[in-house]
Structure 1
Amino acid sequence: MFKITAKTILFISLIGLISACVTNIAGRKQVMLVSESSAIQASKQAYVNTLSPLEKAGKLNNDAKLVKRINRITDKLIQQAVAKRPDSRQWEWSVKVIDEPEVINAWCMAGGKMAIYTGLINKLSATDDEIAQVMGHEISHALANHSAERMSIAMANNLALSLLKSSTEASDQSMSLAAAAAQIALTLPNSRKSESEADILGIELAAKAGFNPNAAVTLWQKMAQAGGNGGPEFMSTHPSPENRQQALKKLIPQMMPLYKAANKNK
């Protein structure tokens, strides 16, 4: 007689998450193990799991001036993200500044859960325009459903399953697995295609928000200069081919009218 175990229920629940081929905002078809709504729910838990130990360790930056600066930049980007994808208005957008002076990194989970590290801001002497390019790029990954795509890879490769061997509750397993996959997805490299999509969407969001498109090039120049032997953590999850700066330069003439229009009445 077939025995229904917690693992069996978990497997069935995961199969139930499989969605049909979907087309993202960039026009590319994606085959998903995880739906975007499931990715957003899992990312809420993963965001808490990621930030809680940092908060306990005093690693969440509370410098009022810096937090205000980052919020001002990301608020403008969020406005453009919502204009691009009206359904994202329902997302619970949030950004935190993580006080890690040596970490050059930033990310955005599914559903608009963001973070930027002080190392990126200070070690790169990043301007507002450059920070907007970073965060616009990261927001674009969420808009284009790349987070769910990476979560699907994490689940498909069972990267998170070993974390749950001691769990006995199937429902807890399912949610914990999804949250673990959401956290692991942050460390997985994006495909070159995903990076190209985020570059194009990100520079557009930033230009429409009133940030100089030329900063997309200066940002990556600074990233390369900060590389040293290992390279910034940001570049480890964002593969940067040699022609990337050239590709961004080619986009600038298309973006300058958007940038000028955004600043016309200022």
Structure 2
Amino acid sequence: MKPDTRLGMALKSALLGASLMTLIACETVQTTQGGVVGVNREQKMAVAPEAIEHAAREQYGQLIAQEGQKGTLNRNAAQVSRVRAVAGRIISQVAAFRPDARNWAWEVNVLTSPEVNAWCMPGGKMAVYTGLLEKLQVTDDELAAVMGHEIAHALREHARERASEQMVAGGFISVGAALLGLGEIGQQGAQYAYMGLIGLPNSRKHETEADRVGIELAARAGYDPRAAITLWQKMGQVGGGQPPKFLSTHPSQSDRLSDLTAYSQRVMPLYEQAKRTR
């Protein structure tokens, strides 16, 4: 065997070993309690939570500073007051899924933009776009459904889970392509295959989890969980055509509405109880 051949095989073995060590180093966690909706899926994490939260804080700080410079940050006092009031009630219920989230440095801002959007970064940094409020004319119950959904993503640490999946998958795809001599084209094909078979379905799974946890948070806060159904009906009207289900990172409209209908009924007793105590 030639020296360069032995060196190549040794390098490939080392790369494979490093990827295997990354997989072994994955921590299996349950980021939240299951709640009434029963979200009990265990998650494998290869990225430290501190790394994700640090990156989120930096990105959020930069974005908020930019919006402030543009004059698009919290321009309408009434909208800001409304959004923060709804968010506050939802945040007060997060301990039902993870008690440590009560101590997050929560922050909620309203950004002036025609985009129909809202999000919650890891660690509780949130934004709601005026396009969501104005184009959909959301009720407080529907706004609670949106914010519960986005907060659920943060509680379940879906961003950290996606980063972990990409880290592990990237290592194995690179090593596999090298071992099989696939080259750049083959490696790109492997990446597409990963996204089609694993990446996108996992994203749809995250969306379903966020829907279910979100409506329970809303119900516990005294907001009608059935509003999630009307919210996504409005979203469908604004969004126009959808990509085929197997290429989408979101559940199909019919699947989502069916699931929300079933799970909103499951949490109705929480909503009725919250109404009586308010």
Q: Where on the TM-score scale, by shorter chain, does this alignment land: which range?
A: 0.7 to 0.9
Q: Is the contact made by 1:43 and 1:110 (CA closer than 8 Å) also made in structure 2?
A: yes
Instruction: Provide the residue aligned with 1:22 in structure 2.
Output: 29
Unaligned runs of 5+ in 2: 1-17, 33-38, 171-198
Instruction: Provide the residue aligned with 1:223 in structure 2.
Output: 235
Q: Deviations over 1:82-126 (max 9, x none)?
A: 34311112211111111002x001111110111110001110001
- 3-state SS in 2 of match to 1:97: strand
Among residues 46, 57, 60, which one is paired with 1:44 in the alignment?
57
Matches of 1:201 and 1:93, distance apart in 2 = 18
Q: Is the contact made by 1:104 and 1:117 (CA closer than 8 Å) also made in structure 2?
A: yes
Q: Is the contact made by 1:195 and 1:238 (CA closer than 8 Å) also made in structure 2?
A: yes
Q: Is the contact made by 1:19 and 1:35 (CA closer than 8 Å) also made in structure 2?
A: no
Q: Deviations over 1:47-91 (max 9, x none)?
A: 112222222111212321111101100000001013431111221
Q: Which amino acid aligns with 2:134?
A: N
Matches of 1:201 and 1:243, distance apart in 2 = 17
Q: CA deviation at 1:46?
A: 1.4
Instruction: Provide the residue aligned with 2:146 in structure 1.
Output: 134
Matches of 2:113 and 2:167, distance apart in 1 = 29
| Alignment partner of 1:257 is 2:269 | yes
| Alignment partner of 1:150 is 2:162 | yes
| Alignment partner of 1:121 is 2:128 | no
Matches of 1:157 and 1:31, distance apart in 2 = 12
**Alignment root-mean-square deviation, CA:** 2.8
Matches of 2:124 and 2:44, distance apart in 1 = 21
Q: CA deviation at 1:157?
A: 7.5
Q: Deviations over 1:174-193 (max 9, x none)?
A: xxxxxxxxxxxxxx976121
Matches of 1:154 and 1:50, distance apart in 2 = 25
Matches of 1:107 and 1:136, distance apart in 2 = 10
Instruction: Provide the residue aligned with 2:67 in structure 1.
Output: 54
Q: Which amino acid aligns with 2:149?
A: H
Among residues 84, 89, 99, which one is paired with 2:97 in the alignment?
84
| Alignment partner of 1:194 is 2:206 | yes
Q: CA deviation at 1:143?
A: 0.7
Change (3 A) 1:91 1:76: same
Task: Give the share of equivalent positions with the same residue, in percent.
Answer: 46
Q: Which amino acid aligns with 2:43?
A: Q
Matches of 2:116 and 2:251, distance apart in 1 = 14
Q: CA deviation at 1:241?
A: 4.4
| Alignment partner of 1:245 is 2:243 | no
Instruction: Provide the residue aligned with 2:187 in structure 1.
Output: none
Q: Deviations over 1:124-143 (max 9, x none)?
A: 00110001000000100111
Q: Residues 151-170 of structure 1: matches in 2 within 5 Å?
A: 151-153=163-165
Q: Which amino acid aligns with 1:43?
A: A
Q: Deviations over 1:209-229 (max 9, x none)?
A: 000011010000000011135
Instruction: Provide the residue aligned with 1:169 in structure 2.
Output: none
Instruction: Provide the residue aligned with 1:203 in structure 2.
Output: 215
Q: Is the contact made by 1:137 and 1:198 (CA closer than 8 Å) also made in structure 2?
A: yes
| Larger fraction in helix | 2
Q: Residues 65-76 of structure 1: matches in 2 within 5 Å?
A: 65-76=78-89
Q: Deviations over 1:213-265 (max 9, x none)?
A: 1101000000001113579xxxx864444211011111122221111110103
Matches of 2:117 and 2:276, distance apart in 1 = 32
- 3-state SS in 1 of match to 2:110: strand
Could you tell me the TM-score, scaled by structure 1's length?
Answer: 0.75
Q: Which amino acid aligns with 2:124?
A: G
- 3-state SS in 2 of match to 1:34: coil
- 3-state SS in 1 of match to 2:27: coil
Could you tell me the TM-score, scaled by structure 2's length?
Answer: 0.72
Matches of 1:54 and 1:65, distance apart in 2 = 18
